[in-house]
């Protein structure tokens, strides 16, 4: 009988090891398809740091073999760029062109044009 268990629970690990007749350490998924289990840990971690929306299962499989730190750097860089873009977009959209502001712009530019002798 094959039993998969998580090493995060010491009691469960100890109980599983006491019943085991053999142990297989498959760290790269060669013997067992551990990708679905591995994706669960990725989902949990990405959710904790606000990156889950950037890492659907299709992308997880597409990045198989890429070092973990490189994947996180990619996700964090994308998030940073999106955050900066949203900030700039919001800043641009926050400019309110009131009648007074438009009148002041008109006066300033009219004065500049007049000073340059273009009128």
Tally of CB atoms within 10 A around 55: 20
Q: What is the pLDDT of residues 65-82, one digit of tens each?
A: 899 999 999 999 998 888
Domain ranges of the chain: 10-115
Segments of the chain scoring below 70 in pLDDT: 1-10, 27-28, 92-97, 113-119
Residue 20, phi-psi category: left (phi > 0), alpha (psi -120 to 50), beta (remainder): beta
| C-alpha–C-alpha distance, residues 5 and 103, integer Å | 71
- Give the CA angle between residues 8, 11, 13 to the nearest 5°: 60
pLDDT at 55: 92
To the question of pTM greater than 0.85 for the whole model, the response is: no
* pLDDT in the model for residue 96: 63
Residue 117: predicted pLDDT: 66
Which pLDDT score is estimated for 16? 76
pLDDT score at 8: 63
Do 55 and 42 meet the contact criterion of CB atoms below 8 Å apart? yes
pLDDT at 100: 75
């Amino acid at each position: 009988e094959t039993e998969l268990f998580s090493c995060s629970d010491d009691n469960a690990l100890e109980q599983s090891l006491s019943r085991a007749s053999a142990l297989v350490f498959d760290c790269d998924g060669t013997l067992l398809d551990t990708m679905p289990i591995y994706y669960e840990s990725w989902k949990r971690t990405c959710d904790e740091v606000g990156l889950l929306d950037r890492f659907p299962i299709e992308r997880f499989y597409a990045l198989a073999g890429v070092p973990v730190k490189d994947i996180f750097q990619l996700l964090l860089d994308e998030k940073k760029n999106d955050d900066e873009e949203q900030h700039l977009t919001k800043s641009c959209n926050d400019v309110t062109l009131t009648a007074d502001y438009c009148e002041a712009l008109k006066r300033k530019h009219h004065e500049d044009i007049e000073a340059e002798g273009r009128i």
